[in-house]
Amino acid sequence: MSAIISEGLQSSLTDSSTEEAITTLVEIVREQQEQIDELQEQLSQTKREQAEDRKRITTLEDTIDDIETAEDAEDGDISTTTPTPEMVDTTVPNAETSLEDVIRLPEHVAEDSLSKNQERARFVAKDVVDYSRSVPAGRVIRSSEIRRVLRAGEDSTIHTETVSRVMDFLDRLGEDDVRIRESQSGERVVVFEDDLVKRIVAWSNHDVVTPNTSSGGART
């Protein structure tokens, strides 16, 4: 009888120890899984931060590329640009804004003397009638349309800061004939006076556009 009781007690102790061991192992596994989840979250966070850092670096590089250009424009380096003999064409109206002077620059001169964003502004302005729409105030092109035009022209990503720089150059070089406004939806737009657009079209077509020409005479 004593032997049976002793054997039962030993079995009970063994079962209890096994259950505790299993419980301990389960707890260890749970803790390890929590640590793994935490490490995975930290890794994801690190990757997001690295992506944001790369984006900030790209934006900073683009901004630095334009600082010298903006300073040159403020000093009048571009606003005082005058047509060289090879730019003069007596069959078209005289340029009345710095933007027109920049548009009429020969390609090799533009490549050598303009910054990247100035070249982008020139690219948009040369064919503004194709990229803009007619409104009572003149012709308008939205910031999103400028981004699309530049992206198609360069087949690359165009940052918001780049679009803003291009719009500022158009506004500055266009003088009184170009201005930046905000649409009812809150989007920034560039407004070109009709007379400026007519002169640009006339230069592009090598055809004289008189002041009395209606806006319908512009190429659409």
Distance of CA 205 to the CA centre of its chain: 31
| Cα dihedral value 110, 94, 196, 146, nearest 10 | -10
Average the pLDDT over 33-39 and give the result.
79
Domain end, chosen from 75, 90, 121, is at: 75
Is the domain of 180 the same as that of 160? Answer: yes
Is the domain of 118 the same as that of 161? Answer: yes
- With the C-alpha atoms ordered 205, 207, 211, 216, is the resulting torsion angle positive or negative? negative
Q: For residue range 137-183, what is the model confidence (pLDDT) as tens digits?
A: 889 999 999 999 999 988 788 899 999 999 999 999 999 999 999 98
C-alpha atoms less than 13 angstroms from C-alpha of 197 in its C-beta half-sphere: 29
Is the domain of 70 the same as that of 91? Answer: no
Q: For residue range 84-136, what is the model confidence (pLDDT) as tens digits?
A: 445 444 455 788 899 999 998 999 998 888 999 999 999 999 999 999 999 98
- Tokens representing residue 206 in the block: 């090598």
Residue 76 has pLDDT above 60, yes or no: no
For residue 122, count other CB atoms closer than 10 A to its CB.
21
The domain of 26 spans 1-75
Is the domain of 26 the same as that of 2? Answer: yes
What is the C-alpha to C-alpha distance for residues 26 and 34, in angstroms, rounded to an integer?
Answer: 12
pTM equals: 0.52
Stated as kind and residue range, the H or E segment containing 179 is strand 178-182
Domain end, chosen from 53, 75, 97, is at: 75
Coil vs helix vs strand at 212: coil
Q: How many domains does the chain have?
A: 2
Is the domain of 43 the same as that of 31? Answer: yes
pLDDT (0 to 100) of residue 216:
41
What is the C-alpha to C-alpha distance for residues 192 and 197, in angstroms, rounded to an integer?
Answer: 7
Who's near 171: CB < 8 A, 6+ residues apart?
Answer: 178, 179, 180, 190
Is the domain of 88 the same as that of 174? Answer: yes
